[in-house]
Structure formats: C-alpha cells, structure tokens
Structure 1
Amino acid sequence: MGRTVIPYTQIVDQERSRWQKFRRALRREDQAHFDRLFELARRHTQAGVYASQPWPMEVILMSMLLEHQKALAVLAERLRRLEEGGNGDPGLAL
C-alpha cells in the first residue's frame, strides 16, 4: 500500500496554522497583510503540487515572492509611463 499524500492546499493551511501565534502578535493592520500573503500563495497551487518539495514553506514563500515580483513589475511599468508623460495609462490595478 502506498502512503497518503496530503493535498497541497491542506499543506498551505497547515503552515498558516503553524504561524498563528506570530499572526496574533502582529498589529491588526499587519494581520490583514499576513493573511493576504497566504492568499497569494494559494494562487500557485499547481506549481506547489508539481514541485513536491520536502519543505513546503519554501514553496509557499516562493509563491508569495513571485506575486510580489509581479506587483513590482506592474508598478515599475506604470511609473515609467507616468515619468514619460504618457496619458495612455489605463490605471493598472494590482
């Protein structure tokens, strides 16, 4: 018989639970940002399943970093357009 593999979304939830004491120690406004980080990590469930790393927190953190990098790229492009004086900025949303 094979071993049961825990679904990746459940692994993310378990890691989030492990960090609950840390979350509770944060200021209320920081707690919302903390929650958002784990929501961002869930966007990359397929990659997390495919990676099947022995340390799931690494995959979760990489997913969070990827989302931050995407947001930075959008902001940098928007800033570039504004600095060039372009009026064609459609108001890119994050």
Structure 2
Amino acid sequence: MDTLRLPAELSIYTAASLHPQWLAWVSQVPEAGGDVCVDGSPVDVVDAAGVQLLLALQHSLTVRGCMLKIGEPSHPLQQACAALGLATWLNERQPLPCQETP
C-alpha cells in the first residue's frame, strides 16, 4: 500500500472530490493494519473543512483497526490544526519517519 499524499489544497473546495477517493484508498488498507501514514508535506491551503476531512479519514481507519499517522505536516496544516484546537491531535499523529508501505 502506498503512502497517501495529501493534496496542495485541502479545503471546502476539494473535500467533496477527495472524500470518495480517500474512502477507496482506505478500503485497500488491511484491517488491523497498525499505523497508516499519510504525507502532509504537500498541503499549502487548508481550512476547517479540510481538517474535518482528515478527522473523517482517521475515523474510517480506526473502524478498520488502524491508526492514522501524518508525516511531515506542512506549516499551513500545523497552523490550521492549532487554530482549531487540534495541535495535540496532530502531534500525536506524527510517525518516525513516514515511509511507504511495501
């Protein structure tokens, strides 16, 4: 399974198209697969809807017995999470280091 790379724009304008793509990606994740890493470095634009989509991704992975990890979150992603009171949530999801799963 490849690491999911978050898009440059994670906002209300992209959430509707990303959601089904991410659900399809999650369906390929093995159940009880442990940590599942996404690459947060490409994110340049993020709003509350984008963070909500990340929370939905976390929920979908949790249902499958997996834990979301966000590798190398960009500065805009860190700022958006902090503004929404989710800085600790983001920090708890940072792996050492984010690598692609074979």
> TM-score scaled by structure 1?
0.25
Name the structure, 1 or 2, with higher relative contact order (CA <8 Å, separation 6+): 2
- With structure 2 as the length reference, what TM-score do the two structures score? 0.24
Higher strand proportion (structure 1 or 2): 2
Give 1 or 2: higher helix fraction.
1
